Amino acid sequence: MTRHSLIDSQRWVVKIGSALITDDGKGLDLLAMQAWAKQMSNLHQQGHQLILVSSGSVAEGISRLGWSKRPNSLHELQAAAAVGQMGLVQAYESSFQHHQIRTAQILLTHDDLADRQRYLNARSTLRTLLKLGVIPIINENDTVATDEIRFGDNDTLGALVANLVEADTLVILTDQEGLFDQDPRHNPNAQLIQEGKAEDSNLLALAGPSAGTLGRGGMTTKILAAARAARSGSQTVIASGREVNVLLRLKQGELIGTLLTPSQEPLMARKQWLANQLKVRGQLRLDAGASRMIQQNGSSLLAVGVKEVSGDFVRGDVVACLDQNGNEIARGLVNYSALETQEIKGQSSQKIAELLGYLDEPELIHRDNLALIR
């Protein structure tokens, strides 16, 4: 039995975690990096397009600075990233040059993808690099990111990049074999889940702790990343980066790790961008009728369907739409500020001008600016 979807996959985003890159914090594992570069170069020479999302700058910086553990203060983390990024990029460039493959370094913050114009610029740059036969190497820009703009983990970054370039496959290489039905560290009878649906909420219950000592991710972030990548139609494989020739064997369709496939049609590009926004400025709790109309009919959100308003947002901000049980069902660009929305919630569109003294739009969020989350 093989995985034909991987055999047919042409555009890959490969994410490699900190524990693998730095050999569990001992410094850059150059032999492992060279092995991954060799595999990616092999795929590249077969005509496939690849983007590498690599953790490791902070962990490498911590090692170079001689610190015994990851610091908590942001400025020390940024300093470690600045030191570690030098070695990380040099090691990758050298590894790929050995195979006559050109590489490019791209550092991103969430602000780069939260702004629509910068999002499109990043998309164009990556697509151009791929056409030129270059392998982009992407990392979060930890040297300037703050708590408000950081992605939080490179699993999320990998998923956003997969959305950005509409990749066929996101491969998350980790120090685990994949997702298990129980914690394999405590239960020898735990079984590897070979395949599932990326949007299956039951998978999160199997994920266990959400963070490790070196990175900010864990199995939870990988499952969430798979669900995010699925919005653009990307499948996700979570597999051990320590498996020999793991990328080449995956390409051949070998059953390695956990494959999570999308269960829905991919969102169009603009709605992918909306659905993937990490900066949500407010929340709107909807009544049952409005929730149903949005989810089943793809309708615009009208003020009459809003029961509660929270947050401090202005016209054009991204807000989350919650159903009556508090579950997020959609995100969209709101046409009125939080104060204005408080004034018009529960009211028909015909009353907006009377209540506010003017009418910008009859919809609170137009359907073209509304993306379903679930």
Q: pLDDT for 140-169, tens place per residue? A: 886 676 654 466 678 999 999 999 999 999
Token pair recorded at residue 349: 């569109």
pLDDT for residue 210 is more than 50: no
Q: Is 245 helix (H, G, I), strand (E, B) or coil?
A: coil
Superfamily of domain 4-271: Acetylglutamate kinase-like (3.40.1160.10)
Does 4-271 match 280-372 in CATH topology? no
CB distance 342 to 366 below 8 Å: no
Q: How far apart are CA 281 and CA 258, in angstroms?
A: 34
Which amino acid is it at 77? L
Domain boundaries, the chain: 4-271, 280-372
353, pLDDT greater than 60: yes
- Three-class DSSP labels, 25-66: CCCCCHHHHHHHHHHHHHHHHCCCEEEEEECCHHHHHHHHHC
- pLDDT value of residue 26: 73
Task: Give alpha helix (H) positions in the chain.
Answer: 4-7, 18-21, 30-45, 57-65, 74-97, 110-114, 116-131, 154-165, 219-230, 246-251, 269-275, 288-297, 338-344, 352-356
Write the DSSP symbol of residue 187: -
Cβ neighbours around 165 below 10 Å, total: 21
Q: Is the pTM of this model over 0.85?
A: no
Give CATH for domain 280-372.
Answer: 2.30.130.10
| 90 pLDDT higher than 90 | yes
The predicted-structure confidence for 253-297, as pLDDT tens digits, reads as follows: 999 999 999 987 787 777 888 888 778 999 999 999 999 999 999
